[in-house]
Amino acid sequence: MDHIQMIEETRKWVKNQLAEEKTGHDWYHINRVTKQAQEIAKIEGADDLIVTLAALTHDLIDDKVVASEEKGLKNVEDWLVTIGTTEDQRKQILTIITTMSFKGGTNKPVTTLEAQVVQDADRLDALGAIGIARTFVYAGSKGDPMYDPTLSIRETLTLDEYRNGRSSAIGHFYEKLLKLKDLMNTDEGKSRALERHQFLEDFLSQFLEEWGQD
């Protein structure tokens, strides 16, 4: 298979597996992240095949999406063998998808340019209008309120608190979203994040103004 076919077959394979996905890791998220990652890769000079395959598969090892990270990884690895990637390419892709998630900010920074690009693209999708919408959908699916003024806003959480603590959609802005612009890796990622970050700030001010005093 040539690179175009490898990407096309992987798109179909991933889309199929995310058909029932409702936690904000749906196919449209993957598609947006992949497009954005490919654009940034071109500007930053990262390897297109590695970036594209990692972006397409990055959520297939998330335990919100699959039974366990281990099973998810095996599934992705087997697929990458099927489409004829080299061992070195597989190693790069699997390293990217296992190291890039936010995990409450507790994860180590990623090191390769390709990983930086995919992580930036994923983070951009957590910002801006789409990021706000995803946050409210996710909070709703967990049974969290959109906002609860009695919950104190905490910006530093352990992984367990980040995952299991009581929060709200607005709380998530402080726990994660507002931090992302300073965590972007590439120059192009940073510049794309700024506009979306400003949109979050504007949304928050308007939201809290409309909420008024308790």
Footprint of ligand ADP on this chain (CB under 6 A)? 24-25, 59, 62, 64, 101-102, 122, 126, 131, 134-135, 138-139, 144, 167, 169, 172, 176
Which residues of the chain form contacts with Ni ion (CB under 5 A)? 59, 122
Q: What tokens does 95 get? A: 């390293």
Give min distance, CB of 58 to ligand ADP, in A: 7
Q: Which does 192 bind (CB under 5 to 8 A by kind): ligand ADP, Ni ion, none?
A: none
Nearer Cβ to ligand ADP, position 3 or 154? 154
> What, of Ni ion, ligand ADP, none, does residue 188 touch, CB below 5 to 8 Å by kind?
none
Q: Please state the φ and ψ torsions of residue 33, each to the nearest 5 degrees.
A: -65, -40
Q: How far apart are CA 161 and CA 9, in angstroms?
A: 38
Residue 77 C-beta: closest distance to Ni ion, Å: 19
User: What single-letter DSSP state applies at residue 24?
Assistant: S
Please, what is the minimum distance in Å from the beta carbon of residue 86 to ligand ADP?
Answer: 27
Instruction: Tell me 105's DSSP state.
Output: G
| Shortest CB 13 distance to ligand ADP, Å | 18
**In whole angstroms, what is the distance from residue 204 CA to residue 171 CA?**
11
Half-sphere exposure of 165 (CA within 13 A, CB side): 19
Beta carbon nearer to ligand ADP, 24 or 72: 24
Q: How much of the chain is in helix, strand and coil states, percent to nearest 5?
A: 70, 0, 30
Q: CA separation (Å) from 105 to 19, 121, 165, 174, 211?
A: 29, 16, 15, 12, 29
| Number of residues that make up the chain | 214
Nearer Cβ to ligand ADP, position 70 or 213?
70
138 binds, among ligand ADP, Ni ion, none (CB under 5 to 8 A by kind): ligand ADP
Assess contact for 197 and 176: CB atoms under 8 A: no
Q: Which is nearer to ligand ADP, 81 or 159 (by Cβ)?
A: 159
Of 99 and 101, the one with the shorter C-beta distance to ligand ADP is: 101
Cα–Cα distance between 103 and 123 in angstroms, integer?
A: 12
Of these partners, Ni ion, ligand ADP, none, which one is at the site of residue 91 (CB under 5 to 8 Å by kind)? none
